[in-house]
Amino acid sequence: MDEFSKTNGQLIHLGVLAFDEMDIKRSIDYSHSFDQVFDPNKKAQVGMLRGLCNSWKMPA
């Protein structure tokens, strides 16, 4: 049982980093802190870190 817990503890941290592109709502944004208008974008790059042996996920 002790050997199983050591192996399982290492597998908890095993994960994969995946990137994907998603469509976003096109709108013009204004930043008060920068006093600047940002043009609308069509796409966004997103990353997700997911566990291979356990069911956990974390945005990157």
- Domain count along the chain: 1
Give the residue with greater pLDDT, 7 vs 10. Answer: 10
Task: Summarize the confidence of residues 20-41 as an average pLDDT.
Answer: 89
Reported pTM: 0.55
| Average pLDDT in the chain | 84
Asked if residue 3 has pLDDT above 70, the reply is: no
> Containing domain of residue 54, as a range?
2-59
- 33-50 pLDDT per residue, tens: 999 998 888 899 999 999
Burial of 52 (C-beta count, 10 Å sphere; 0-12/13-18/19+):
exposed
12-16: list long-range contacts, CB under 8 Å, 24+ apart: 12/51, 12/53, 12/54, 14/51, 14/52, 14/53, 15/49, 15/50, 15/51, 15/52, 15/56, 16/49, 16/50, 16/52
